Every structure is written in C-alpha cells, then in structure tokens.
Structure 1
Amino acid sequence: MFLGHFGVGFGAKTLQPRVPLGTLFLATQLADLVWPTLLLLGIERVRIVPHFTASNAFDFVHYPFTHGLVSEVVAGLLLGLAYCLLRRNGRGAVLVGLLVPSHWLLDLVVHVPNLSLYPGPSPHFGFGLWNYAAITQVVKFALLGAGLWLYARRTVARNRVGRYGLLGLVAFLVLIHVGNTFSPPPASVGALLSYTAFTASSKLTNANILLNGQFQDDFI
C-alpha cells in the first residue's frame, strides 16, 4: 500500500494546510520507516517466500510493534503530542496522530491475515487483496490519484520549482513502487534491509528537498 499511504498524506493536507506535507508523509509511513530497525534488532521477523502472494514475496511473520493496531495508535498519540508541543497546533496534531494508525487500516485491505491488534496473543487480520495483483495496483494508484487530486485542486505553485517539484516527487514515488513491484525478491533478509533503508532514506531526503522552501504548498 506504498502509494496509497502517500495518497492519504496528500489528501490530508487539505484538512490542515498549516501542517507540512513532509510531516503528513512521516505520519502515514511511520510504521514502515521504523520497521527495518526492529527487523535488524531481531524484534520483528519476515521471511522471503517467492510467490507468497501474487503481489510480493514477503511473509511478515511477526511485526506487532510497528504494524499492530494498538501500537500504531500509541505511536500516533506520541507523534501528535510531539507535533503539538513543537508547533502549537492542536488541530494539526490531531490529524498527525490519526494518520499513524491509518497505515494499519490501509494495510488491512491488501495484506493477508498477518496484521495483529496488539503485541502478544492476538487475532490477525487482512483482506488479502495482495492475492489479486491487478486489483491491488488499481487500488493503490486510485488512492494516490484521489489524494493528488484533492491536493492539486487546493494549491497553486509559487514558481517553476513548485510546478515541477510536485511532478518530480510523484514520479519518484511511482518509480520506487514500480521497482518494488517488478524487481525479483531480495536474496536474503539482509538484502531486504539494505534496500528498505535506502528507499526510506531516499523518500525522506527527496521529500525534504522538494517540500522545504518554494513548493506547491500555497492554499487558494
């Protein structure tokens, strides 16, 4: 649901224009950004199983701390509180806090039943859309498109940087998504960690380059 999470971030910007788009992206992607660290520490586990689903080769064996509903709610409360203390924006903080567990809700649509409610003995959920690769792609691009439409209709570019920066950011996200979708599965969990760390740092770096300063972020 990589593209879908960013679509939610774009759409959420229209609700609270004062919250930086990069902050909204951080909230929607927090679970995936923290996950590689817990994987490296052995706290969470994943197996690489070719053709595990029609969409990817990852069997997420155990990740209740980054992808459990209660854990994401707690993380949302903490991130929202931190934003409120730093920015003195209560409504924006509520939105930031809610976006963190929105990750679980979107993942619920595509994951097989591997999403827990809380750490420990918990039922697992997932509607399994990953088993239908074509439909999965339609849903992801539809969510991204809807979020972009909401964002674009409420913004105006300040200059060429704003005009083409948004296109560059979207192209970058789509390029990562295409690479994730059509590249062969990594040979090992270590390779997966390296690739995930690279894409995570690239997403944040690219977002900061494009989103700070003059960007398509003035509301009409």
Structure 2
Amino acid sequence: MNAINHAATALLINKKWPGVPLLWVLFSVQLVECLWVVFNLVGLEAAYTEPQIRALNDIHLSHMPYSHSIASSIALSLIAWFVLSHLLKRPRWAIAIAVAISSHIVLDVATHVQDIQLAPGLAYPKIGSGLYGIPAIALVVETIYGIWCWWVFRGSKALLAVILIFNLGALSFYVPQIPGPEAFLAGHPRVFAAIIGFHVFTGLAAVGYFARSHWRAETQQAVQADSPAVGGPVA
C-alpha cells in the first residue's frame, strides 16, 4: 500500500485509542516498511525489476520473509504489547501500538500480489489479494481508504489535501499508460528501496504535521476523561 495511506492508518488508531503519542503511532504503522527498507539496503531481503518499469507490478518483492511475513508481524506486535503493557505499565498504549504495527501487514495482504510469506523459512504458500495486478484499480481503492481514514479522524482540509496529493503524485506508478520517473529504476532495486524510505519519511512527516493540532486536542480530552474528579461540594 502507498506509504501515505499506511500513515493515514494512524488517524484511525487515534480515533479508537486517543491519548497515545502521535510519533509512537506514526512510527508503528510503518515499522514493517522501515525494516523492509533497511533489510533491502543491507542485502538481507531483495527485490528485482523487469527490464522496463511501467507500473508497480513491474517491481517484484521477491524475498522479504523477515519484514513482511505474517509471523514476524505478529511477533513484533506481541513484543511491543508486552513492553508497553508489562514494563512501561501502559496497557492502552500497548493495544494501540500492537494494532498499529499489525495493521501494516493486513493492508499489504489486502493489496499485494502473492508475495507475503506466512513465516521466515516457509517459502510457500505466499499470500496477497492480487490487487496490485491491476494497479489503476489499486490506486482508486487506496485513495478511498486514505480519505476514509481522514473522514473518521475528522481532520483538516489541509490534511485531506496531503493525502490526495501523495496518492495522485503516484499516478504514473499505478497507471502504465502514464510515463514517470519510475522508469529509471529498472535494474536498481536498492535505489527503489531508498526512495521508498524517503517516501515513508515524508508521508509520516506530512500526516504528523497536519494532524498534530487535532491529535493534541484528542489527547487532552482523553487525559481529562481518565483523570479522577477532584474537589467537590464542601460539607
């Protein structure tokens, strides 16, 4: 899924569990992708491209058992839950962050071709809805999802504009008939990984910046709701 829409998932997390710090949730929804970028750059995971790239289905995420397997995502979520719940004594944060981390693989299964392993060392079967086999439809579905996240969050018009701009900015990557800069990535999968890393960072930064005031208000309301009442009638 487009990085901006993973970032938009943080808006849903805030609506369900207000009070969890913005940066924590933003990082959590993209933790899996950050690992993918690092693992590809160091050679632990790999991708390859067709000789000519016209759309995203010409890039194949052929080996990503550590960052993008079902088992590894569950493990990361459970570790985060345990640390926050039992060590830091933040049970609400624990649930929110665990859901945020696991949301990434759920959304990728809903969009990717069959390139997601169940666990490291288990090469087959690989799962994925196959939506990226028809990338133009995938772009429509992903954009609708990003807008829905914004609508649930009740974000600003500027935040909506950011989500739309990032999605429409990827138009040439999803529509083969529209030429774009991705053509220059053919044969350079590690450069592609680095660009994805930059895209992840800018998407998180943009969503965080334009969501921060509303997020802060939600956090203050959550703190007030959780605080015991003080004072009372004087006898």
Which TM-score band applies after superposition, normalised by the shorter structure?
Answer: 0.7 to 0.9
Read off the aligned partner of 1:197 and give its amino acid letter.
Answer: G
With structure 1 as the length reference, what TM-score do the two structures score? 0.79
Unaligned 5+ runs, structure 1: 156-165
**Correspondence for 1:149:** 151
**Correspondence for 1:19:** 20
Unaligned 5+ runs, structure 2: 173-179, 222-235
Read off the aligned partner of 2:126 and give its amino acid letter.
Answer: H
**Correspondence for 1:128:** 130
**Secondary structure in 1 matching 2:61:** strand
Greater C-alpha radius of gyration: 2
TM-fit CA distance, 1:200: 2.8
Read off the aligned partner of 2:96 and give its amino acid letter.
Answer: L
**Correspondence for 2:142:** 140
Moved more, 69-78 or 2-11: 2-11
Read off the aligned partner of 1:184 and give its amino acid letter.
Answer: P
Number of residues of Structure 1 aligned to a counterpart in Structure 2: 206
Instruction: Check whether the contact 1:72–1:100 (CA below 8 A) recurs between aligned residues.
Output: yes
Read off the aligned partner of 1:25 and give its amino acid letter.
Answer: L
Distance 2:209 2:86 in 1: 25
Read off the aligned partner of 1:216 and give its amino acid letter.
Answer: H
Read off the aligned partner of 2:16 and give its amino acid letter.
Answer: L
Read off the aligned partner of 1:118 and give its amino acid letter.
Answer: A
With structure 2 as the length reference, what TM-score do the two structures score? 0.75
Provide the aligned C-alpha RMSD in A.
2.7
TM-fit CA distance, 1:51: 7.1
Read off the aligned partner of 2:152 and give its amino acid letter.
Answer: L
TM-fit CA distance, 1:21: 3.1
**Correspondence for 2:181:** 184
**Secondary structure in 2 matching 1:46:** strand
TM-fit CA distance, 1:47: 0.6
TM-fit CA distance, 1:69: 0.5
Higher relative contact order (CA 8 A, sep 6+): 2
**Secondary structure in 1 matching 2:67:** helix
Any residues of structure 2 matched to 1:37-116 within 5 Å, and which? 37-49=38-50, 55-84=56-85, 88-116=89-117
- Calculate percent identity across the aligned residue pairs: 23
Note closer, same or farther for the CA distance 1:168–1:121 as it changes in structure 2 (3 Å cut).
Answer: same
Read off the aligned partner of 2:181 and give its amino acid letter.
Answer: P
TM-fit CA distance, 1:135: 2.2
**Correspondence for 1:216:** 214
